[in-house]
Amino acid sequence: MIGLYLVSGVIGALFQLCFAALFPDQFAGPMVGASAGVFGFMGVLARLFPHREVYLLLFFVLPLRLKLHWIFWGSMAIALLSILVAIRTETGGQVAHAAHLGGLLYGAFYVAALVRKGGLMRFLPGLPRIRFV
């Protein structure tokens, strides 16, 4: 688990560095935080349990019941739109949106690679069979 968290963070940082190389005015700056690792876990959970429902507090007040796959796609859309806005308006802000996207994608691809190799079932034998097409 700690490996997934750390590698998601590193992959997220690499995504942010790639965008900083392409658009130095928008994405340059220090990176501090753990959000890419958290987004990596979110990608893993969304791929393993896409129809599991969880509760989110919208604005810390309104409870929303959403399936994990909607949270995954919503997070992906927010990260992509934030990157596009930063590029378009030439204001990068202080949030590493590309790192969030990198962590999320790594988590999703991590599960896909394990399932394709059959390795996931060795570690989680009680998990129902998952088939990605």
Encoded amino acid at 49, one letter = F
pLDDT band at 97 (very low <50, low <70, confident <90, very high): confident
- pLDDT exceeds 80 at position 91: no
The pTM for the full model equals 0.77
pLDDT (0 to 100) of residue 73: 94
Give ∠ CA 121-108-49 in degrees, rounded to 5. Answer: 60
pLDDT digits (tens, 9 = 90+) for 19-75: 888 877 776 677 777 888 899 999 998 888 889 888 888 888 888 898 988 999 999
